[in-house]
């Protein structure tokens, strides 16, 4: 469930909308946490910093019940501020999570 950047073919993080070059830290996020019934369910490729921010902000129960889609994660008020902030950084930015 990733989109592609037209110029290089790199996948695009569906949250911050920046390309994910192969040499950038990245990880797969289970839309429903594995421990909450999401084992074998859909995953999305994200920048590692975006993935870490999700898990620092929301508990697994919240993720399973209310934030189990890209649209819901993008709409979360605190996370939306982070996506807007990190979107201004280069694709390789991997600073500490806020």
pLDDT digits (tens, 9 = 90+) for 36-81: 888 889 999 999 999 999 999 999 999 999 999 999 999 999 999 9
* Residue 53: alpha-carbon gap to chain centroid: 8
What pLDDT, on the 0 to 100 scale, is given for residue 95? 76
Nearest to 82, CA basis, from 68, 69, 65, 96: 96
User: Which residue has 């429903």 as its token pair?
Assistant: 32
* Model confidence, pTM: 0.86
What pLDDT, on the 0 to 100 scale, is given for residue 5? 42
What pLDDT, on the 0 to 100 scale, is given for residue 65? 95
Distances (CA, A) of 77 to 49, 56, 67, 92: 17, 14, 12, 24
The three-state secondary structure class of 77 is helix
The three-state secondary structure class of 5 is coil
Per the model's pLDDT, the better-predicted residue between 6 and 60 turns out to be 60
């Amino acid at each position: 469930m990733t989109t592609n950047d037209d110029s290089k073919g790199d996948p695009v993080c569906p949250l911050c909308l920046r390309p994910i070059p192969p040499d950038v830290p990245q990880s797969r996020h289970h839309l429903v946490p594995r421990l909450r019934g999401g084992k074998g369910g859909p995953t999305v490729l994200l920048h590692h910093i975006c993935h870490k921010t999700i898990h620092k902000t929301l508990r697994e129960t919240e993720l399973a019940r209310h934030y189990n889609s890209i649209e819901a994660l993008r709409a979360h008020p605190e996370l939306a501020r982070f996506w807007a902030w990190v979107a201004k950084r280069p694709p390789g930015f991997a600073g500490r999570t806020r």
